[in-house]
Structure 1
């Protein structure tokens, strides 16, 4: 099935082709994706409404998150992800648990490649969302993870974070596999908390590295 302009632009943002601050030009996008300008215009309007794009004068640019937005996003993410893990511990089929375990083992091969590890991380979390067997929760988490695409860098790029994150993933899978609902929720909430802490340190270091005017 052919993807529409909205999906194509959203995927380009999610994959880092378009990054926060990049200007999106209707005619350029139409040429890039081989579609007419009308569906591109409609897609841009939709993305602006969803706060994925913002205005810079007359131009539309990929939005970025300030400190408060980042904090708010991680609070919501932690609670929704914890709920997904809790429900997965209750409802996941043995096959789903085995898939999660295989993902953790495969992802060890991505250490040293932050971009690949970030993609693998999204895949792992999405698999937990599906294992919750709650379609409404999956929809809400999709929206949250869409906003995560507005982060210019991945916290998995921080030295040592990849190894730590995989240990945290293993703890989550172990709890889900044993049917420990509280343990799964707590393990995933702690995982998101550590990711947020790492993100804050990353942003603070980037701010400190900026030349003073």
Structure 2
């Protein structure tokens, strides 16, 4: 993908700061490549090679890698950077914190959601239930559902914390929706969260959201142990 501005078939990118800056665009591209598995943990990257591939100068690439480093997504390596690989304990820490934050988002949503927020949340829940395609498509539909909760929570500080945390999920290979039965279980878990929010029952919504993430963590650990056994 080329980010230069000298052709109509290339993605226009604004200079400067903010979400539309070149550095931010490069960051999002690299993050998406981590999520898709194109950039796996342990992959080495160089600023000059990345800049050449994306058709930008090294400055926005340097900014993007600095942001990835600050988020704990890459590590400095000789002559470049390496995509970080999370340990099992770090994975558990990540999911434990995510359970707390997702629970808080569901609680705030139960307290603050507008009628339009509730409609969007119901639509996102149904969309996940009816999604076609593989585990990747289900993972994207799941993210849309959770983003609908964040919107309904109406707490910008919490949203920023969740954005950073969810960026870290890019370091996890594959998706828990590749585990047998996880999609069906998540569908029921989503409905429980929605029911709590619609009933304005903050305790029920928070508890349901926490269970959802705790169950996702169990699926993730199952994936990790299965992989360890295969490699052993």
Counterpart of 1:94 (choices 111, 115, 120) is 115
Match of 1:6 in 2: 27
Deviations 1:102-149 (A, max 9, x none): 112122232551001001111111111111101000010111101111
The question of whether the paired residues in 2 share the 8 Å contact of 1:111 and 1:162 is answered with no
The question of whether the paired residues in 2 share the 8 Å contact of 1:94 and 1:177 is answered with no
Counterpart of 1:20 (choices 11, 26, 41) is 41
Match of 1:136 in 2: 157
Match of 1:158 in 2: 179
**Unmatched runs of 5 consecutive residues or more in structure 1:** none
Match of 1:69 in 2: 90
**Unmatched runs of 5 consecutive residues or more in structure 2:** 1-11, 14-19
TM-score, with structure 1 as normaliser: 0.92
Deviations 1:50-69 (A, max 9, x none): 21101344441111211111
The question of whether the paired residues in 2 share the 8 Å contact of 1:114 and 1:154 is answered with yes
Aligned residues, how many?
211
Q: Distance in 2 between matches of 1:26 and 1:130?
A: 35
Q: Please show how residues 1-213 of structure 1 align to structure 2 within 5 Å.
A: 2=13, 3=20, 4=22, 5-110=26-131, 113-210=134-231, 212=232
Q: Distance in 1 between matches of 2:167 and 2:129?
A: 25
Quote how far apart the aligned CAs of 1:158 are.
0.5
The question of whether the paired residues in 2 share the 8 Å contact of 1:8 and 1:33 is answered with no
Instruction: Work out which structure has the larger RCO, using CA pairs closer than 8 Å and 6 or more positions apart in sequence.
Output: 1
Q: Distance in 2 between matches of 1:108 and 1:24?
A: 38
The question of whether the paired residues in 2 share the 8 Å contact of 1:111 and 1:163 is answered with no
Greater alpha carbon shift after TM alignment, 84-93 vs 35-44: 35-44
Greater alpha carbon shift after TM alignment, 169-178 vs 111-120: 111-120
Match of 2:4 in 1: none
Q: Distance in 2 between matches of 1:58 and 1:26?
A: 9
Q: Distance in 2 between matches of 1:45 and 1:96?
A: 35
TM-score, with structure 2 as normaliser: 0.85
